[in-house]
Each structure stands twice: as structure tokens, then as C-alpha cells.
Structure 1
Amino acid sequence: MTWEPLAVPPDAAAPHPITARAQPIPVRRTFAEHAHRRHQIVYAVSGVLTVAEEGRSLAISAEEAVWLPTGAQHRVGSLLGAAFRSL
């Protein structure tokens, strides 16, 4: 089987640079409530994150992620520690 290349449309680039963040979150620590000027995806590669966003709280494992839209007030932490990642 032969794979054929696809042409990428010239306007397919992301409208803004993508920023990645990797940081361990120690036991019982949280980032203070804040918001971003761009959308954010939050996930963990190990452990469990707690995500509080505009009246709801979630616990997400390493198989899950949370989409936080631009301007959403939120905080992220971990009860037992986690390897935090975000885009």
C-alpha cells in the first residue's frame, strides 16, 4: 500500500501560536483562580486533576481532558499530585 501526501491549505495554520505547559502539581496544591485570553486544554499524563470552572468541579484522570474556553474563570489542582499539561 502506498501513502499519498495531502496538500495543506495555506490558511490551515493556527491563528495564534500554540503554547504547551508541563508542570508537576504536588499533593494538595492548586493554581489560583484565573482566566486566559485563548482557549485552553487541560489534562494530566499521570495522577488526577481537579478542575473548577464557573460553578462546576471535575476530577479528570490521565485518559481525560477539559476544554476551557477563552475567558472562563477556573482553577486547576490535585489532591494526590499529578503531572499537569496544558495547551
Structure 2
Amino acid sequence: MYCFSRSWKASELRLKSWDDLNKLWFVLLKEKNMLMTQRQMLHAQNLRFPNPERLPKVRKSMCRIKHVLTERAIEEPDSRRSAKMKRMINAL
């Protein structure tokens, strides 16, 4: 039996640097793509997708990362830098 972890909490993500959050975003994106590919392949073979709760946890973590990054962009005193940060977040 496998035990998968929970989604990241916003309070935990607020402690991480911008670069760490960016890296974590892409790790989660890779995980999401892997899970969706696996789900699609199993569905095509009429097999059950094991641990379907993993995908919502990944999505929730990704949403929380964007939220934390947006908080930082809003709090940025330099308007040019804030706009650049927001563009980067929207590109995720």
C-alpha cells in the first residue's frame, strides 16, 4: 500500500523563495502531466486509475503557489517589478 502526501499549505509556501516556488511549480506540473497521462492510458484499457486523490492535491498545490506568488507581486513596492512578476505568474 502506498501513502501519498498531502497538498502544500499556503503558510508553508510563504516561507519559500520565489525561485523555490518556481521550481516546485514545474515539479508539480510534471507530476500532473504524468498522472493525467497515466489516467488516460488506463482509461483507454478500461482499467481503474489508482489513487485518484493525487491529482486534486497536485492541482490544489499549484493553485496555492500562484496565490502566494500573486500576494508577493501585489506587495511589491516597485510598480515595474510588480507588473513583471504578475506577467510571469500569468504565464504559469
**TM-score, structure 1 normalization:** 0.25
- Tell me which of the two structures has the higher relative contact order, counting C-alpha pairs closer than 8 angstroms and 6 or more residues apart: 1
